[in-house]
Amino acid sequence: MRNQSIDSKLLFAQNAISNAQTNAEIKAALAAFGYDDAKMQAGEALYARAAELQIKQVKEYGEQFAATDALNVAKATINKTYMVHLKIARIALHGDRGAAESLQLSGRRKETLSGWLKQAKALYTNALNSPAVLEALLQFGIAKKELSNGQAQVLNVEAKLNAQLKEKGEAQSATQLRDEAFDELQDWMSDFIAIARIALEDQSQYLEMLGIVEPS
């Protein structure tokens, strides 16, 4: 909703500034109150920057959403396999408290992604580094290659999380820059509208050309 509001205000600013510069009568009336070519060009520059940053902000959020979707797919892809490996490891290593702790076999799986990653990485990394664990798991049909594949997929989730966090940061930065530029434009437009109402007080048709609707 906020982007729609900003888009509509940007369109208003674009039309107002453009019509003020291309209509000779409006241009002359505004120039008499200090809105000469230089001042109008300054407003046009503020509009251009805000519009550019609005497009960039939309792009950055699109990339964040794509990164989030990729992260969710990557986790869902490995999580089912991980849960199977976890259940089998609990059976294969039943009574081995050292292995249970090393592989993070006990307790519920963490709901946070960072917690889930810690548990999943512990299982695959420590299992692959323990000949005894590898032998125990092999007795239940889990070969080293499967564990290596599982580890690679978990690391892929971690990489996609890092990518998602990067995109999130860039999206937030783009939003801040866009908001600052938009606020500058709005300040300029506020004064411009106020002056236009004075300069064109008796020429309502010109105010309408600028998109300025007078209160009834």
Tokens 């990339």 belong to 63
Per-residue pLDDT at 132 exceeds 70: yes
Domain 2-209 has CATH 1.20.1260: yes
Question: Looking at residues 74-94, what average pLDDT do you find?
Answer: 97
pTM: predicted TM-score of the whole model, two decimal places = 0.80
pLDDT band at 35 (very low <50, low <70, confident <90, very high): very high
Q: Is the pLDDT of residue 87 over 80?
A: yes
Give 6-34 pLDDT, tens digit per residue. Answer: 999 999 999 999 999 999 999 999 999 99
What residue spans define the domains of the chain?
A: 2-209
Report pLDDT digits (tens) over 191-213.
999 999 999 998 999 999 999 97
- pLDDT of 2 over the 70 cut: no
- Average pLDDT of span 65-71: 98
User: Which pLDDT tens digit goes with each residue over 170-194?
Assistant: 999 999 999 999 999 999 999 999 9
